[in-house]
Structure 1
């Protein structure tokens, strides 16, 4: 029994490691990962603007900031692409797009199947719709037909 628990923890750890690797590979388009190939911007460095890290503020801790909503201190220099790295910037997807589409498809099919199941379970109406004589009281309603009377009911 203990070996089974250890094996399941190892599998869970592998899944978590695979998700971290997948998230890191997906993350590159929303928040660029700094590399050695990225050079300093001469327009910023020539005028003494500090080199600001290119990481989203959504990954910062929620506490310990002078402006907790934006997760920054008041005198902290802004990144020149602050609209990408602020709290209001685009979120990094945690789930790969193929897996997200598969999950969405399963949920949509589940809703459709539930609708058909409800339609199959609900019984027919216990009462017959009301029928009016004289072609649905056409003359009494001022020329508006309510429901036309069928010939088969007259024969009975």
Structure 2
């Protein structure tokens, strides 16, 4: 009975917290790096740390260089979002990304056009076959779907 009461109390607390507009956090990207502290009533006595992603930290001077963390440092409550292994922080606009993709495709098209224009003529004479490309000699019949024989063009 005590477990059911506790679960109901937690559910009611979550619903009440979600209904307050100050608790709603809208994330425009996969991870926000705002430094804002969001008050969470369910965090208890754990330190309420600001939203600073570990990806924004420098690469040197850490006790644990892989996670960019010092010994004894508190882990963020949402470490799966704010840690080094979370989805990457993007600091550029979508227009800049589209421009970079456009520049890539334009440079590939320019390179292909350059190769097409600079490609030299073949230094050999095309091979020719007598009797219509040796169709009879290679076993061609009138009812064949695919023509047998060498290319004549």
TM-score bin (small chain)? 0.5 to 0.7
Aligned twin of 1:147? 151
- Total equivalences in the alignment: 119
1:94-127 Cα offsets, whole Å, 9 max, x none, are 3221122123212211210221122012122232
- How many Å separate the matches in 1 of 2:76 and 2:125? 72
- How many Å separate the matches in 2 of 1:39 and 1:96? 25
What are structure 2's unaligned runs of at least 5 residues? 1-26, 141-147
Q: Which moved more, 1:101-110 or 1:132-141?
A: 132-141
Q: Which moved more, 1:92-101 or 1:107-116?
A: 92-101
Q: Pick 1 or 2: higher relative contact order, CA cutoff 8 A, min separation 6.
A: 1
Aligned twin of 2:13? none
Aligned twin of 2:24? none
- How many Å separate the matches in 2 of 1:85 and 1:73? 15
1:52-101 Cα offsets, whole Å, 9 max, x none, are 22101011122232221111135333222212111111222232211221
Between Structure 1 and Structure 2, which shows a larger proportion of helix residues?
1
1:12-58 Cα offsets, whole Å, 9 max, x none, are xxxxxxxxxxxxxxx963315244xx6421111x3x11122210101
- How many Å separate the matches in 2 of 1:39 and 1:94? 22
Aligned twin of 1:61? 58
Q: Contact 2:38–2:50 at 8 Å: present in 1 too?
A: no
User: Structure 1 residues 32 and 57, CA, compared in 2 at 3 Å: closer, same or farther?
Assistant: closer
SS at match of 1:42: coil
What are structure 1's unaligned runs of at least 5 residues? 1-26, 151-156
